[in-house]
Amino acid sequence: MNEDGTGDGRAVPGSQWYDADAGPLVRPYAMTGGRTKPGPSNVRFDLIALVVVEDDPPGPAEESLLGPEHRALLTLCRAETQSVAELAADADLPVGVVRVLLGDLLEAGFVKVSRPVPPAQLPDERILREVIDGLRAL
């Protein structure tokens, strides 16, 4: 719960508190500064595009200028290479928001993102064999 629990800004005495069912108190567009698409590079991150931290990321000074959601994503990326979908689930943010924020991190040189897999392109037989064996062994 945020301090700003009245949601609509009117501090009516005794007004009820809203729980998560009432929807997010911070609207998605607030986290992205009103943007609905990633920045100038205009990349559309696939849900299973993998995000890894850059080898030589900007220093702590620059990192401290990032917003809390940016930093949350960065922390998740550092823990493990993850897909865009997993980052969205773990950060509890809508995918659309995560895409915009990742675009910022990409442009600022904090992360790298694997390109979306081109359609109709299947991995070679060796990989598929590995997947089948891996599934059997689960």
Binding site for other proteins (CB under 8 A): 28, 46-50, 52-55, 77-81, 83, 85-86, 88-90, 92-97, 112, 114-125, 127-128, 130-132, 134-136, 138
CA-closest candidate to residue 41, choices 110, 118, 88, 105: 105
Q: From the CB of 107, what's the least distance to other proteins, in Å?
A: 17
In the bound state with other proteins, the residue whose beta carbon lies nearer, of 65 and 117, is: 117
Q: From the CB of 119, what's the least distance to other proteins, in Å?
A: 5
Q: From the CB of 14, what's the least distance to other proteins, in Å?
A: 26
In the bound state with other proteins, the residue whose beta carbon lies nearer, of 6 and 114, is: 114
In the bound state with other proteins, the residue whose beta carbon lies nearer, of 2 and 115, is: 115
Cβ 63 vs Cβ 74: under 8 Å: yes
Taking the alpha carbons of 57, 63, 69, 72 in that order, is the dihedral positive or negative?
positive
In the bound state with other proteins, the residue whose beta carbon lies nearer, of 48 and 65, is: 48
Give 16-71 as a DSSP string.
Answer: PPP-GGG--SS-HHHHTTT--S--TT-----TT-EEEE-SS---HHHHTTS-HHHH
User: Which residue type is seen at 33?
Assistant: G
Q: From the CB of 136, what's the least distance to other proteins, in Å?
A: 7
